[in-house]
Amino acid sequence: MAETAEVKVGVYCAADNEVASAIDLEALEKVALTEMKAALYRNHPNLSSAESVEQIRRDIGEHGLSHVVILDRSARAFPGLFEFGPEVMVDLVPLRELVIWTHDANDEDTQMLAEDYLRMYVARTKNLKRPEPQELAVERRVLVIGGGVSGMRSALDIAGAGVPVTLVEKTPALGGWAAKFTRSFPTKPPYDQLQNGDMVRELAERVNGDSAIDVLLDTRVTEINGQPGEFEVKLENGGAPQQLRAGSIVQATGWRPYNPERLGELGYGKKNVVTNVQLEQMFANGSVLKADGTAPKSIAFIQCAGSRDKEHLPYCSGVCCRASLKHAMQLREMYPGINVYVLYKDIRSPAQYELFYQKAQDDPGFFFTKGEVQRVDEKDGVLAIDLDETLLDEPITVEAEMLVLATGIVPTTSVEDGVFAPGGGEENKPDTRIRDEREEGEVELELLPSGKKVAAGAEKGAKILNLTYRLGTDLPTLKYGFPDSHFICFPYETRRTGIFAAGCVRAPMDQAQAMMDANGASLKAVQALEMTAHGQTLHPRSRDLSYPDFFLQRCTQCKRCTEDCPFGALDEDEKGTPLPNLARCRRCGTCMGACPERIVNFQNFNVPMGNSMIKAVEVPEELEEKPRLIAFVCENDALPALEIAARRRMKFNPWVRIVPVRCLGSVNTVWLTNCLDAGFDGIMLLGCKHGDNYQCHFVRGSELAEYRMENVQEKLQQMQLEQERVQVSAVAIDEWASLPELFDDYYEQIEEIGPNPFKDF
């Protein structure tokens, strides 16, 4: 984006006592007007006052300012304050955070730092424009997939918000698993009585009676094309194809039980050993009987059967303990003389459900004991369960006529049938597959149920959505097969924009939680319609109007952008030219960071902007012994962490210049080579953690940045520079206190290897 003649920058600097007593404002003014050719420079003792905002507004009119640079606090401190209409680009320099609060007052290096930030931001703003709002045609209908508790609740919520819904259920009836259960946990005081299954039936009746909800039973999704606002959905209903358009999607496809065939060591396969789900079926059939057709006089439950076990499901499903308490109570009602043994690692019955647990404990027919099951034998119709009992601290054997394995919940998005690699889900990691695929240089094809072939690659998927996205047919999943996009910050969001997850497909939960989960996902689905219609992105750059602009005349079809986009926003044609689906885009800039031709840019964030900031820094000559380090800092966690450290008045290394970025994935390697050419002695990239417990707000930007660093290392070698010249570090927001030390430690490393030899060229 070239600088144009119309660019007129006004610079406004906070000039209260705190700032004016720490730096030389006259010198700053000189840099702005003479060096950076700003049209106007003003100091103000209270920049955020109404009077000051009015002054800026007047200046814009009188001087024809197109860009305003404000040196005071970070943008986070003044949300919405400096708004001067669509024609004026406003940029805020966090002068207090990066200079005044974190460096010594009246120090030569502090002054140089302030002047550098002024240069960097004025240079940057000249390359930025306010994005134009784009109104998109949006189909005001939400597709809900899955007719269980969360799907039905979602449909009712969305319809209640005035948006029509199509609810698709693959079986002949609404209700899902919950409809198969004869009784449920208590959901109201005194929280100690079992409830009947009325809630599910009533929910289904309300859904069927709502004219804004089209219920399609016996129906599967065979293909989804398009993007938020205009998903084209193909369905199959009893062999008959059907089509509809939807603006957003809620996937509430629920769970399946963990495969008990893998639990032979806990007795599965032996006579009179069943799972909790099989026991539910017996209740539904009206009686619980042994294989010989007689009622059991004793029954044992093994809790966490295949759960909280790294060889099976490493997580807790959260409901199995209460399910067993419920089952045991049902059995005591059915057969009052029966003895029930509950063998547990821990009983997890949280909140008011403690009262439910106490009710069970008060029953003399219950026997609870804690320990690890060692083996299960069956002889003469009796099951003997050996247990390393931890309350008595000795091995015991429990004998019972029937055994129930309390198995856990596997999301329907899991492709692994409930089996996870020890250590957690290696084979489920899409990123690894992308990388392997790129090395092989070929694109894998997937066959959709509709017969269409699509490029797959990243995610094999569970063949529920059958997306025609380049990156695969279904929602990419996190560890253990759950499809959240960001488990900390954005519940319900998945890695496919406009598609939200609700209920047990998102995390194990009970019916009450599933209803609340549906509330959240439904709101998101409606919000997606509204924001898409106005061209706004969803989290984390909520309301951003910018879209990546691809200058395709110079595209070499290298496919880096299409492969790296974490949200599947980019398909490609047969030659590999990107085909953007912009409503899928979350504006992370990963495509911009990926493109070797540097032809992907945003109006308010682009490659020239970064280059101009790098060039704007005054890099002293080697003999002056004032090294210069530059840090590209992710605005999601690392930058706020830096601001927290600044508010705590921690001291920052004076040699470091900060460049905020949308995500480390948006850092184009040309910025790094330009830094080295410009004489920077060291380059830091501060982004989010990746791996299983990732916190990257754009899923994989920080990981991609590390991957791309391999190319940078090659470049360093060619330039005969040390590897340490570039360092990637992960920073979580709560690690703010470690940031000053991180800078200092890196500086020490650079000091050891000496200055960048290109400094004086």
Residue 588 makes contact with ligand SF4 by CB under 6 A:
yes
CB-wise, 347 or 595, nearer to ligand SF4? 595
Look up residue 323 and give its amino acid.
A
CB of 415 to ligand SF4, least distance (A): 24
Of residues 278 through 317, those in contact with ligand SF4 by CB under 6 A are none
Residue 595 makes contact with ligand SF4 by CB under 6 A:
yes
CB-wise, 153 or 560, nearer to ligand SF4? 560
Residue 569 makes contact with ligand SF4 by CB under 6 A:
yes
For the chain, state the CA radius of gyration: 30
| Secondary structure tally for the chain: helices H, strands E | 19, 33
CB of 570 to ligand SF4, least distance (A): 5
Span near ligand SF4 by CB under 6 A; candidates 190-198, 592-600, 678-686, 753-761:
592-600
CB of 414 to ligand SF4, least distance (A): 25
Select from 416, 597, 706, 722 the one that contacts ligand SF4 (CB under 6 A): 597
Select from 44, 332, 559, 690 the one that contacts ligand SF4 (CB under 6 A): 559
CA distance 641 to 652: 13
CA distance 89 to 600: 20
Q: Where are the alpha helices (DSSP H) in 552-651?
A: 560-564, 590-594, 607-616, 638-647
CA distance 350 to 204: 28
Span near ligand SF4 by CB under 6 A; candidates 199-207, 220-228, 480-488, 580-588:
580-588
Measured between its terminal Cα atoms, the distance across the chain in Å is 27
CA distance 575 to 329: 64
Helix (H, G, I), strand (E, B) or coil at 77: helix
Look up residue 412 and give its amino acid.
T
Residue 558 makes contact with ligand SF4 by CB under 6 A:
yes
CB-wise, 506 or 587, nearer to ligand SF4? 587
Residue 470 makes contact with ligand SF4 by CB under 6 A:
no
CB-wise, 501 or 594, nearer to ligand SF4? 594
Span near ligand SF4 by CB under 6 A; candidates 187-195, 394-402, 435-443, 585-593:
585-593
CA distance 322 to 22: 62
CB-wise, 255 or 550, nearer to ligand SF4? 550
Residue 455 makes contact with ligand SF4 by CB under 6 A:
no
Q: CB neighbours of 238 closer than 8 A, spacing ≥ 6?
A: 218
Q: Where are the alpha helices (DSSP H) in 441-534?
A: 511-533
Residue 200 makes contact with ligand SF4 by CB under 6 A:
no
CB of 561 to ligand SF4, least distance (A): 3
Helix %, strand %, coil % of the chain (to 5): 35, 25, 45
H-run or E-run covering 328: helix 320-334
CB-wise, 344 or 605, nearer to ligand SF4? 605
Residue 556 makes contact with ligand SF4 by CB under 6 A:
yes
Interface pattern 513-552 for ligand SF4 (x via CB under 6 A): -----------------------------------x-x--
Residue 303, number of CB atoms within 10 A of its CB: 24
List 385's β-bridge partners, or say none: 376, 398
Of residues 600 through 659, those in contact with ligand SF4 by CB under 6 A are 600
Positive or negative, the Cα torsion across 270, 271, 276, 280? positive
Residue 599 makes contact with ligand SF4 by CB under 6 A:
yes
Residues that bind ligand SF4 (CB under 6 A): 548, 550, 555-561, 565, 567, 569-570, 578, 585-591, 594-595, 597, 599-600
